[in-house]
C-alpha cells in the first residue's frame, strides 16, 4: 500500500522533513513487520500548527453554517468512496479483520460525518432571551489527541464536530496507528477544507501531546485514551485554563435480567466484548447473570467463544485479529494471569499463545472468559482492553444494579429483559453515559461519553458540536 501521506500536515502543506528525532515506525501487528514510518514531531511543529490554526480561524469561524455543512457533506461522500482504502489501511496498522474494518472502521465515520452535518443544520446559533441576543460562538483552536483503537472514528468524532462548530484543529493521532488519520486528513483536504483548518502533528504523547495541552494558543483539548493519561492532560490543561473533554474508557456491565432470552443475551454480549479484539472503550466486559443461570450462561459463552478463533486479519473469514501492539498484548496476558492468580474460573482461552500454524507471528491472544468472578477483583474492576470477559453472578435486581455501579468507570452498559419497560427502569439506575437495551445499536447521533473516571464531555451529534461552542450574550 502507498503510504505517501506519512507526514505532518500543517497549513495545508505535507511536511516530510525529519528533525533530530528518529522517525516513528508503524508496525502491522499481524506480521510484526514495519509497514511505514511517520516523522516524529515536537513542540516546534505544534507551535507552527497552532499558528496555522489561529490564522485559519478568523475566516473559517465566520463561514455560514450552510457553507460548513456543505464541506462536511462533501467529506462524507469522499469517505464513502474511499471506504476500501480506509478499511485496508486500518487492517494493516491495527490488525482489525478486513470485514470488520469495512463494516465498522470505514463505515461508521461516514455516518458520524453525516450526522454531524445534520445536527449542525438543525442547531440554533442565535437566540433571543429577554433583552439579550445570545450567540453560539466557536471556542477557537482545538487540540485533539486520539488513541489507536478506532483510528478513524476517534479522530472524526473530535475533529468533525470541532470544525462544524467553526473551530480549527491541531490533531495528534496515536503513534501506534497514525496512517488512517493521515489518510483522513488527505481526504479532508480533497473535500475542500481550507488550509490551516485541520493540522496534524505526528509524534509521541509526552512530546507532541503534551505540547498541545500546554500551548497557550490552544483553547480546548479533546482527549481519548487511558485514565492515567487523561488525568495528566486535565491537570496540565488547568495551567492554561483550557476547556477539556475526556473519554477514558470503562468497565461496562451487561446486565442480563432473569426474564431475558439468555442465549441471545450471552451470545451478543460475547460478540460485543470480543469486537475489535476487545479494544473498545465501551466494551461490555462484565456480564452480570442471575446466580442460578450462571452455569447455563457459562456453557453458552464457551460455545460462543469457540467461534472466535484468532486469525489473519487480511482473511475475509477472520472474526478476531491480533491486538494492536506488543505492549497491548503483554498487558492483556498479564491481566489474564492476574485473574488466574486471583482464583477466577477460566472457561475459555487463557494466557498461552493461540494455536494455529498461521499464527507464528503477530500479537495474538486467546479470547478469554472467566466465570464466578468476584465483583471487587482485578478482572471486574480494571479496564483490560483485550478480549477478556468476566461473568459475575448476582442474587436479585437490586444486587445487579449495585454490581453494575460498583466501578470507578461509567461509560457504557447494557440491560436485557423480556420486558422493555423493566429494562429501561434498570438502565436508568446505571450510572453511565450510555446503556443499550436488548441489543440496541450504536447511534452516531446520540451523545457519547462517560461519568466518573470515564471522563466528561460528550462526542457525536449536536452534543459533540456543543462541546466546542461557548455563548456570547449581547444586551439591548
The residue from 147, 161, 311, 393 that contacts ligand NDP (CB under 6 A) is 147
**Binding-site residue total for ligand NDP (CB under 6 A)?**
27
178, 41 contact by CB (below 8 A): no
Q: Is 145 an interacting residue with respect to ligand NDP (CB under 6 A)? A: yes
Q: What mask, x for binding ligand NDP by CB under 6 A, covers residues 150 to 169?
A: --------------------
3-state per-residue secondary structure call for 6-22:
CCEEECCEEECCCCCCC
Quote the CA–CA distance of 322 and 194 in Å, as a whole number: 38
Angle, to 10 degrees, between the axis of helix 108-122 and the axis of helix 153-165? 20
> Which residues are within 8 A (CB) of 210 and not within 5 positions of it... i.e. 6 or more apart?
236
| 180 vs 417 by CB, closer to ligand NDP | 180
Radius of gyration of the chain (CA): 22
> Which residues are within 8 A (CB) of 275 and not within 5 positions of it... i.e. 6 or more apart?
100, 104, 283
Shortest Cβ 325–ligand NDP spacing (Å)? 8
Which of these is catalytic: 92, 115, 247, 459? 247
Shortest Cβ 263–ligand NDP spacing (Å)? 30
Binding range to ligand NDP, per CB under 6 A, among 59-67, 76-84, 141-149, 287-295: 141-149
Q: Is 224 an interacting residue with respect to ligand NDP (CB under 6 A)? A: yes
Q: What mask, x for binding ligand NDP by CB under 6 A, covers residues 366 to 385?
A: -----------------x-x
Residue nearest to ligand NDP (CB): 205
Its sign, for the CA torsion 409, 411, 414, 415, is positive
Q: Is 436 an interacting residue with respect to ligand NDP (CB under 6 A)? A: no
Is 383 marked active-site?
no
400, 255 contact by CB (below 8 A): yes
What cell does 376 get? 471487587
The residue from 164, 268, 281, 297 that contacts ligand NDP (CB under 6 A) is 281
| 277 vs 371 by CB, closer to ligand NDP | 277
Residue 288 bridge partners (DSSP): 255, 392
Q: Is 285 an interacting residue with respect to ligand NDP (CB under 6 A)? A: no
3-state secondary structure of 401: helix
Q: Which of residues 240-259 bind ligand NDP (CB under 6 A)?
A: 247-249
Q: Which of residues 301-340 bind ligand NDP (CB under 6 A)?
A: 328, 331
- Helix (H) / strand (E) element for 69: namely helix 65-81
Quote the CA–CA distance of 266 and 354 in Å, as a whole number: 23
384, 430 contact by CB (below 8 A): no
The residue from 205, 278, 290, 310 that contacts ligand NDP (CB under 6 A) is 205
| Catalytic positions | 247
Binding footprint of ligand NDP on the chain (CB under 6 A)? 145-147, 149, 172, 174-175, 204-206, 209-210, 213, 224-226, 229, 232-233, 247-249, 281, 328, 331, 383, 385
Amino acid at each position: 500500500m502507498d503510504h505517501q501521506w506519512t507526514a505532518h500536515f500543517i497549513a495545508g502543506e505535507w511536511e516530510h522533513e525529519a528533525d533530530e528525532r528518529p522517525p516513528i515506525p508503524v508496525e502491522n501487528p499481524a506480521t510484526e513487520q514495519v509497514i511505514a514510518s511517520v516523522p516524529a514531531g515536537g513542540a516546534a511543529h505544534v507551535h507552527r500548527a497552532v499558528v496555522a490554526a489561529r490564522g485559519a480561524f478568523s475566516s473559517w469561524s465566520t463561514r455560514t453554517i450552510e457553507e460548513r455543512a456543505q464541506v462536511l457533506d462533501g467529506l462524507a461522500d469522499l469517505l464513502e468512496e474511499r471506504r476500501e482504502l480506509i478499511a485496508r489501511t486500518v487492517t494493516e496498522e491495527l490488525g482489525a479483520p478486513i470485514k470488520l474494518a469495512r463494516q465498522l472502521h470505514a463505515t461508521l465515520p461516514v455516518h458520524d460525518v453525516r450526522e454531524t452535518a445534520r445536527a449542525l443544520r438543525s442547531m440554533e446559533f442565535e437566540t433571543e432571551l429577554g433583552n439579550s441576543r445570545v450567540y453560539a460562538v466557536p471556542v477557537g483552536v482545538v487540540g485533539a489527541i486520539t488513541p489507536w483503537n478506532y483510528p478513524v472514528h476517534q479522530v472524526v468524532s473530535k475533529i468533525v464536530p470541532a470544525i462544524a462548530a467553526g473551530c480549527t484543529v491541531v490533531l495528534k493521532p496515536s503513534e501506534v496507528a497514525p496512517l488512517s488519520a493521515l489518510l483522513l486528513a488527505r481526504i479532508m483536504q480533497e473535500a475542500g477544507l481550507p488550509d490551516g483548518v485541520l493540522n496534524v502533528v505526528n509524534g509521541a504523547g509526552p512530546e507532541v501531546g503534551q505540547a498541545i495541552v500546554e500551548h497557550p494558543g490552544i483553547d480546548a483539548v479533546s482527549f481519548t485514551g487511558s485514565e492515567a493519561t487523561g488525568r495528566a492532560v486535565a491537570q496540565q490543561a488547568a495551567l492554561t485554563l483550557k476547556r477539556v473533554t475526556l473519554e477514558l474508557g470503562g468497565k461496562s456491565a451487561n446486565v442480563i435480567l432473569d426474564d431475558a432470552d439468555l442465549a441471545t443475551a450471552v451470545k451478543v454480549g460475547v460478540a460485543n466484548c470480543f469486537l475489535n479484539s476487545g479494544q473498545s472503550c465501551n466494551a461490555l466486559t462484565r456480564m452480570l447473570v442471575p446466580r442460578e443461570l450462571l452455569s447455563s450462561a457459562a456453557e453458552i459463552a464457551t460455545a460462543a467463544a469457540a467461534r472466535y478463533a484468532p486469525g489473519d486479519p487480511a482473511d475475509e473469514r477472520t472474526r478476531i485479529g491480533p491486538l494492536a501492539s506488543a505492549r497491548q498484548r503483554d498487558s492483556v496476558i498479564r491481566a489474564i494471569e492476574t485473574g488466574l492468580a486471583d482464583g477466577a474460573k477460566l472457561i475459555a482461552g487463557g494466557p498461552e499463545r493461540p494455536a494455529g500454524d498461521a499464527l507464528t507471528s503477530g500479537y495474538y491472544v486467546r479470547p478469554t472468559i472467566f466465570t464466578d468472578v468476584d465483583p471487587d477483583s482485578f478482572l471486574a474492576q480494571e479496564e483490560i482492553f483485550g478480549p477478556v470477559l468476566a461473568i459475575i453472578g448476582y442474587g436479585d435486581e437490586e444486587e445487579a444494579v449495585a454490581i453494575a455501579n460498583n466501578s470507578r468507570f461509567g461509560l457504557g452498559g447494557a440491560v436485557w429483559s423480556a420486558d422493555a419497560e423493566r429494562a429501561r427502569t434498570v438502565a436508568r439506575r446505571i450510572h453511565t453515559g450510555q446503556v443499550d437495551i436488548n441489543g440496541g445499536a450504536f447511534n452516531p447521533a446520540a451523545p457519547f461519553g462517560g461519568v466518573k473516571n470515564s471522563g466528561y464531555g460528550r462526542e457525536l451529534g449536536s452534543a459533540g458540536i456543543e462541546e466546542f461552542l461557548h455563548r456570547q450574550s449581547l444586551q439591548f
